[in-house]
Homo-oligomer: A and B are copies of this chain.
């Protein structure tokens, strides 16, 4: 791997735990950041480096998307502006037709879209996970993958899914120099009866893996859980030992203060998905209450069937805007807080301590933003401009583990034209 010196660059870093923009040189060697200068110095040592002029760019840690289902790009725009039941009625029969090949092609399009938008690491909970992991391996991206288990079929059916989930998690955890990690995933309290939940928790203990689920996304699922088990979803998870494992919870909208206190006690990580929650009419998660309890809040796009893009800049902006409007408090959730949610918090939410911040010794997961555009002027408060003014399309370059995945908006590890062509042909087959 060549040594890279990005010279005279503006970059985002942490200074005494606060986000700061600094100017200097940024050195990469193999998969790591080896030096971050606080001034742009000319240096003879750069002679054996590939030198990149960073002067019109802002460099950030790659963005981390902590919840999604990548292959559902195949269902983008298929069911919009309808009630949740109508959404399920159109989405589920199509998902049932998904073949391994469709999942491979759908997730590759998602991976291309995410890299182009500055996302370097993503969570995927789905089926046919070997296909997705293979795409991640090829692309050079980082991912935390999990075969989600819906335990609603016959016992032989869900036992087969659990076996598949365990094998997948065991086979892929730590692959590609640790670019791929895995989790165990009961899909949701309302789709996993006690026996299924307990088995998945047991396997998470056996494999020493964290556990991921959808939680309290709609009012309806709270009622269903109460009707079926006489308790609310969080008590249900607690009863079946879910919280005995490190855990990541997606959505978390319908929770009362006592439940938030409980989740904070269990150090649950929250994946806040504002775009999907708004679009499906689910509601607005009480993020300011999570923050008040010092909980770890990260961001996720959810799938393209309910978002409908995989743009983490948009997710940051929504997270910074909707709580202000909803609470009628412009101080609710700051630009710096959402930038942390999309970077350092995302890393911590996935138990990864070597990404999410630009610092010496960290993995070189880095993105470059073209700030020489009207919407970044004045260039003084760049943290604010990133959150309130930037978009995924401002990303020009992406490195993961020090390897360039995109330079000057061109994907280097993936053939974008082929991906789009094969995706379109898969979509036709799906709709045939």
Contact = CB atoms under 8 A, between A and B. Distances in A.
Given A374-B420, A377-B424, A427-B377, A308 B388 contact: yes
Given A307-B388, A321-B318, A388-B279, A377 B82 contact: no
Nearest to A384: B77
Nearest to A382: B77
A378 interface: yes
B322 A322 contact: yes
Interface string A247-290: 00000000000000000000000000011011111111000000
Interface residues of A, number: 75
Given A309-B388, A375-B311, A423-B377, A281 B325 contact: yes
Given A76-B385, A278-B321, A321-B278, A420 B332 contact: no
A58 to B, nearest CB: 13
A282 B325 contact: yes
Interface stretch (A22-30, A38-46, A292-300, A389-397): A389-397
A328 B219 CA distance: 10
A423 B416 CA distance: 37
A378 B427 contact: yes
Interface string A313-357: 010011011101111111110110000000000000000000000
A199 to B, nearest CB: 34
Given A385-B77, A388-B307, A278 B324 contact: yes
B391 A391 contact: yes
Contact of A389 (B308, B331, B384): B308
A158 interface: no
A372 B112 CA distance: 13
Contacts of A282: 325, 328
A84 interface: yes
Contacts of A373: 116
A314 B373 CA distance: 17
A30 to B, nearest CB: 30
Contact of A335 (B80, B87, B281, B420): B80
A422 to B, nearest CB: 11
Contacts of A83: 329-331
Given A83-B329, A391-B392, 19 more contacts: A77-B381, A77-B382, A78-B378, A81-B320, A83-B331, A116-B373, A219-B328, A277-B325, A281-B324, A281-B328, A304-B389, A308-B384, A308-B388, A314-B317, A322-B325, A326-B326, A374-B416, A377-B420, A391-B391
For the complex of A and B, list the 4 residue pairs with the smallest distance between their C-beta atoms, beginning with the closest: A393-B393, A278-B325, A77-B381, A281-B330
24 contacts: A77-B380, A77-B381, A80-B335, A82-B330, A82-B331, A87-B330, A109-B377, A113-B375, A278-B325, A279-B320, A279-B388, A280-B330, A281-B324, A281-B325, A281-B331, A283-B325, A308-B388, A308-B389, A309-B388, A322-B325, A326-B326, A374-B420, A377-B427, A378-B427
